[in-house]
Amino acid sequence: MTRERMTEQELDATLADLGERLAYPRPTRLADAVSARLREPRAGRWWDAVRSPRYAFAPLVATLAVFALVIVLAVPGARAAASDFLHAWGIDIFRVPAIATPAVSPSPRSGLGALTTLADARARAGFPVRVPSDPRLGTPDEVYREGPDAGARQRISLVYGQRAGIPISHEPGVSVLVVEFRGTVDENLTGGKGVGPDTRIESLSVNGGRGLWLEGAPHLFFYRDPSGIIQTETLRLAGNTLIWEQDGVTFRLEAQVSREDALRIAASFR
């Protein structure tokens, strides 16, 4: 360490010198990335995207989206009831992240239910709540529970803030979201129906059970509940998503990580 106090000139020179040596990022194709984002529908609530005349859906998917929305609106609680069979019936892309004014951006927490503790969630979920033991995640920062007390249709969400090695999502302060509910994955209806051009969907085996890997832009997905009603579910983060079934419980992991990383995290659920 330099013991003597630097003169003004020495400090100026050192700062100027340092300024030239910092390990700055060197973006070269930022214009392409920005332009791609500007071509997407303006960020907002996803139902704005559904309404947006600028957004050209495949007509089939558009019809289903509106249909499913109407049903969800008309049958309160249907979403919670829909968990017994999870069908990734069709996928399309909606831009969700908050690039508009933050005041109107959807919170990843909105609609997750009531803030609670892990112990409470475990006591009331009605199914064994599993938590990833992957050291990169540690314990969840927030736990939410949705659904009537002591009912069989509970949905538990785990929210993870900033974690080393996992990029932050477009939702400030959230890097990983885990959602768990009783239900099973059915891959019969996943055959790429309505998959948007920027989303890849893949059937795979996770922890010995059936699973789906959704990669690409943020999306809504549709599934059919036990009564055959089409339901929609918004993926909250602008990340990749792994959905799998384990012991009658459906798990959803959203994070901007690779498929291998997601599988590694999934394998650490205890």
Partner 1 sequence: MGGVKGLRTDSVEGRPTEDAALVERSKNGDQDAYGELVTRYQAIAARTAYVITGTAADAEDVAQDAFVKAYYALDRFRSGAPFRPWLLRIVANEAINRRKAAGRRPTVGLSVVEDRASGDTALSPEASALAQERREVVLDALRKMREEDRLVIAYRYFFDLSEVEMAEALGVARGTVKSRLSRAIARLRAAMEGDQLHDA
What residues make contact with partner 1 under the rule CB under 8 A?
1-3, 5-6, 8, 10-12, 14-28, 30-35, 37-39, 42, 99-100, 161-162, 167-168, 172-173
Q: Please report the DSSP string for 113-135 in residue order.
A: -EEE-HHHHHHHSSS----B--T
Q: Please report the DSSP string for 63-77 in residue order.
A: HHHHHHHHHHHHSTT
For partner 1, the closer CB: 76 or 102: 102
In the bound complex, what is the minimum distance in angstroms from residue 26's beta carbon to partner 1?
A: 7
In the bound complex, what is the minimum distance in angstroms from residue 19's beta carbon to partner 1?
A: 3
In the bound complex, what is the minimum distance in angstroms from residue 176's beta carbon to partner 1?
A: 13
For partner 1, the closer CB: 7 or 188: 7
| All residues at 6 or more sequence positions from 244 whose CB lies less than 8 Å from its CB, including other chains | 185, 206, 207, 209, 210, 211, 212, 250, 251, 266
In the bound complex, what is the minimum distance in angstroms from residue 38's beta carbon to partner 1?
A: 6
For partner 1, the closer CB: 19 or 76: 19
Residue 143: both structure tokens together: 């736990």
- Residue 217, phi then psi, degrees to nearest 5: -70, 160
Q: Which CB contacts under 8 angstroms, 24+ apart, belong to 2-10?
A: none
Q: How many residues in total does the chain contain?
A: 270
Q: Residue 162: in which H helix or E strand, if any?
A: none
Instruction: Give the Cβ contact number of residue 179 at 10 Å.
Output: 22
Q: Alpha carbon 86 to chain centroid distance?
A: 16
114 and 146 Cβ atoms separated by less than 8 Å: yes
For partner 1, the closer CB: 31 or 56: 31
Instruction: Measure the CA–CA gap between 155 and 131, rounded to whole angstroms.
Output: 14
Q: Residue 39: in which H helix or E strand, if any?
A: helix 30-39
For partner 1, the closer CB: 30 or 150: 30
For partner 1, the closer CB: 71 or 99: 99
In the bound complex, what is the minimum distance in angstroms from residue 28's beta carbon to partner 1?
A: 8
In the bound complex, what is the minimum distance in angstroms from residue 79's beta carbon to partner 1?
A: 29
For partner 1, the closer CB: 2 or 188: 2
In the bound complex, what is the minimum distance in angstroms from residue 75's beta carbon to partner 1?
A: 36
